[in-house]
């Protein structure tokens, strides 16, 4: 899986970590939903299957944080008394803002792009260049 339990430590208290550890199946379902939500913003240009297949230090740090924040937002109703609702909402909104920036090409993360059949990178974002043949206006 793309996320590990250790990834949650940066934004969770020890009590929240205990709760998450007890809800392993629910956490995995929320992680899959979070990855699909992230992909819905980025799959038009980036190869998200390859991005989510990476492990350890090869993962994009911002993508990991977005996945953690969105997963926790999806799980907040399973935590006792909706622990840290305001904090989770703020982190979730920040993650969605970043994803919208990526979608609008205002942010360019280091994510794998699609590779075309001939081996060229960025197959979903071709840049065309050139011009029309000159018109001589010879009548």
Per the domain annotation, does 133 fall within a domain?
Answer: no
**Is residue 58 assigned to a domain?**
yes
Give domain status of residue 138, yes or no. no
- What percent of the chain is modeled with pLDDT above 70? 87
Give the model's confidence band at 76: pLDDT under 50 very low, under 70 low, under 90 confident, else very high: confident
Is residue 118 situated within a structural domain?
Answer: no
Out of 13-17, 36-40, 66-70, 109-113, which region has the weakest mean confidence (pLDDT)?
Answer: 13-17
Residue 33 domain flag? yes
Average pLDDT of span 37-42: 93
Range of the domain at 58: 5-103
CA–CA separation, 28 and 67 (whole Å): 12
Predicted TM-score (pTM) of the model is 0.79
Count of structural domains, the chain: 1
Whether residue 95 lies inside any domain: the answer is yes
Question: Quick check: 67 pLDDT over 80?
Answer: yes
Q: Residue 66 pLDDT more than 90?
A: yes
137 in a structural domain: no
Residue 129 maps to a domain: no
Q: Which of 4-18, 76-90, 117-131 has the highest mean pLDDT?
A: 4-18
């Amino acid at each position: 899986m793309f996320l590990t339990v250790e990834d949650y430590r940066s934004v969770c208290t020890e009590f929240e970590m205990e709760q998450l550890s007890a809800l392993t199946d629910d956490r995995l379902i929320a992680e899959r939903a979070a990855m699909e939500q992230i992909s819905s913003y980025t799959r038009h240009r980036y190869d998200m299957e390859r991005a989510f297949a990476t492990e350890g230090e090869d993962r994009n740090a911002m993508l990991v944080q977005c996945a953690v924040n969105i997963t926790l937002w999806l799980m907040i109703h399973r935590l006792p008394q909706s622990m840290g609702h305001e904090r989770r909402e703020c982190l979730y909104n920040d993650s969605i803002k970043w994803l919208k920036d990526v979608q609008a090409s205002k942010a360019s993360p280091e994510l794998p792009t699609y590779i075309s059949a001939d081996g060229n990178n960025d197959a979903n974002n071709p840049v065309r260049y050139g011009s029309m043949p000159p018109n001589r206006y010879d009548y």
